[in-house]
Amino acid sequence: MPRQARLDAPGVMHHVMARGIERRKIYKDDTDRSEFLRRLSQLAEDGNGLVYAWALIPNHIHLLVRTGTRTLSSNMRSLMAGYFNRRHKRHGHLIQNRFKSVLCEEQTYLLELVRYLHLNPLRAGIVKDIRALDRYRITGHSGLIGKIERPWQETKGVLELFSNTKKRAREKYRCFVMEGVAQGKRRDLTGGGLVRSMGGCESVAELRRGREAYRSDERILGSSEFVEAILREAEKRENRKKPNKRIDLDTLIEKISDQYQINRRSLESRNRTKAVSKARAVLCFVWTRYLGRSGRTLAEMLDISTQAVYTAATRIEKNGELSDDLLERWCQ
């Protein structure tokens, strides 16, 4: 059966997995690992995505990322291209088949995946316990608990889900990770499809006994509604005209402000009236999802977290209420 096309769109969250061919090592030493992290940090700092979680295991990698201005495939080429072969004087493919990516429903899976990815070194026997994991430098866990400062890693958006106080958030996050140690390998988090989205075969069997309809896709980890929204948006993206990516943020803000009959100052403030909140969420969607521009740039302008920008964009995407004609009028 031919492989399905990769689902790739601006501003969506992916769990990315890449394994060395024949399970061989893809990082031989600290120099290899440092070069990979240098490239990963450069992509994040250039506005090409947000990195929520990551783990480098000798023969494979896990990343939890949100795409930004470039596609996931372009980012992965920048990460993996050529360096290892040149340095170690080898030829041929480094990664087994193509890298695997699963588009994930954020509200349900963000924290679960952050924990799962960061526990990889413990499950693999590279570290012996949670204290050793705290000190382990080549996973994003050390950044989240404050052992290592990595400005390019999106720690704020994760920690804010635990507490508004950084110290308390880190304590709660670490407890959350410790609770996951006993869970072992979770196949429900390593791919898409109905079985994984529903949490196991028993849940699917129960669903089918009740003859409930549930939309699933091997490329997506999420609820039926989330799958429907993603596939609907992917189809729209295939058919719609390419937007004018040269449009600037100021112009877009003026157009959306006019559409919702609010002034720009309200849109840029912390005004939480229904009309302003709606216009702000629409701006987040158009800027990040439709135009594929950096959520960080918009977050700074609105004085909110980057995570809040993408959460608002997801809310509008699920509703599917913006017509193509309206989007084209704003952006062409």
Indicate if 240-332 has the same CATH topology as 13-189: no
Residues 207 and 215 sit within 8 Å (Cβ to Cβ):
no
Residues 126 and 138 sit within 8 Å (Cβ to Cβ):
no
Which residues, at least 6 apart from 8, have a Cβ–Cβ distance to it below 8 Å? 67, 71, 72, 73, 101
Structure tokens, 258: 């006019």
Q: What is the pLDDT of residue 7?
A: 67
Q: What is the pLDDT of residue 196?
A: 46
94 CA to centre of own chain: 24
Secondary structure of the chain as H, E, C letters: CCCCCCCCCCCCEEEEEEEEHHHCCCCCCHHHHHHHHHHHHHHHHCCCEEEEEEEEECCEEEEEEEECCCCHHHHHHHHHCCHHHHHHCCCCCCECCCCEEEEECHHHHHHHHHHHHHCHHHHCCCCCCHHHHHHCCCECHHHHCCCCCCCCECHHHHHCCCCCCHHHHHHHHHHHHHHHHHHCCCHHHCCCCHHHHHCCHHHHHHHHHCCCCCCCCCCEECCHHHHHHHHHHHHHHHHCCCCCCCCCHHHHHHHHHHHCCCCHHHHHCCCCCHHHHHHHHHHHHHHHHHCCCCHHHHHHHHCCCHHHHHHHHHHHHHHCCCCHHHHHHHHC
Q: What is the pLDDT of residue 211?
A: 44
Mean of all residue pLDDT scores within the chain: 79
Q: What is the pLDDT of residue 150?
A: 92
Q: What is the pLDDT of residue 134?
A: 94
pLDDT single digits (tens) 223-261: 777 777 767 766 666 665 566 667 888 889 899 998 888
Residues 195 and 214 sit within 8 Å (Cβ to Cβ):
no
Q: What is the pLDDT of residue 21?
A: 64
Structure tokens, 299: 């977050």
Compare 289 and 80 and report the one with higher pLDDT: 289
Report the topology of domain 13-189.
Answer: Alpha-Beta Plaits (3.30.70)
Residue 204, pLDDT above cutoff 90? no
Rounded to a whole number of angstroms, the CA Rg of the chain reads 21
| Phi, psi (rounded to 5 degrees) for 263 | -90, 160
Q: Please, what CATH class does the domain formed by 240-332 belong to?
A: mainly alpha
* Longest pairwise C-alpha distance within the chain: 62
Residue 3, pLDDT above cutoff 60? no
What is the percent of the chain with per-residue pLDDT over 90, rounded to a whole number? 23
CB hemisphere CA count around 302 (13 angstroms): 28
Q: Read off the pLDDT of each residue in 147-175 and give the average, rounded to a whole number.
A: 94
Q: Read off the pLDDT of each residue in 72-80 and give the average, rounded to a whole number.
A: 74
Neighbours of 323 (CB within 10 A): 9
Q: What is the pLDDT of residue 48?
A: 76
| Placement of tokens 């040269």 in the chain | 246
Residue 212, pLDDT above cutoff 60? no
Residues 294 and 206 sit within 8 Å (Cβ to Cβ):
no
- For the whole prediction, is pTM greater than 0.85? no
What is the percent of the chain with per-residue pLDDT over 70, rounded to a whole number? 77
Q: What is the pLDDT of residue 209?
A: 44
Residue 121, pLDDT above cutoff 60? yes
Residue 222, pLDDT above cutoff 80? no
Among 103, 105, 133, CA closest to 6: 103
Domain boundaries, the chain: 13-189, 240-332
Structure tokens, 45: 């700092």
